Chains A and B, each alone.
Chain A
Amino acid sequence: GDSVTQMEGPVTLSEEAFLTINCTYTATGYPSLFWYVQYPGEGLQLLLKATKADDKGSNKGFEATYRKETTSFHLEKGSVQVSDSAVYFCALSEKSNYQLIWGAGTKLIIKP
Chain B
Amino acid sequence: DGGITQSPKYLFRKEGQNVTLSCEQNLNHDAMYWYRQDPGQGLRLIYYSQIVNDFQKGDIAEGYSVSREKKESFPLTVTSAQKNPTAFYLCASSITGTGVYEQYFGPGTRLTVT
Binding site for B on A (CB under 8 A): 32, 34, 41-46, 49, 51, 89, 93, 95, 98-100, 102-105, 107
Closest B residue by C-beta to A32: B100
B42 lies within 8 A of A98 (CB): no
Contact for A43 among B94, B101, B108, CB less than 8 A: B108
Set of chain B residues within 8 Å of A32, measured between Cβ atoms: 99-102
Set of chain A residues within 8 Å of B41, measured between Cβ atoms: 104-105
Set of chain A residues within 8 Å of B99, measured between Cβ atoms: 32, 51, 95
Known A44-B92, A105-B42; further 19 A-B contacts with Cβ < 8 A: A32-B99, A32-B100, A43-B106, A43-B107, A44-B103, A44-B105, A45-B105, A46-B102, A49-B102, A51-B99, A89-B42, A89-B43, A93-B102, A95-B99, A95-B100, A98-B95, A100-B102, A105-B43, A107-B40
Most B CB atoms within 10 A — which of A49, A100, A107?
A: A100
Q: A53 CB to closest chain B CB, in angstroms?
A: 14
Which secondary structure characterizes the binding site on chain A? strand
11 inter-chain pairs at a CB distance below 8 angstroms, sorted by A residue, are: A32-B101, A41-B108, A51-B99, A89-B43, A98-B50, A98-B94, A98-B97, A98-B101, A99-B48, A100-B102, A104-B42
A43 lies within 8 A of B105 (CB): yes
User: What size tier do the contact residues of chain B reach?
Assistant: 20 to 34
Binding site for A on B (CB under 8 A): 4, 6, 31, 33, 40-43, 45, 48, 50, 90, 92, 94-97, 99-108, 110
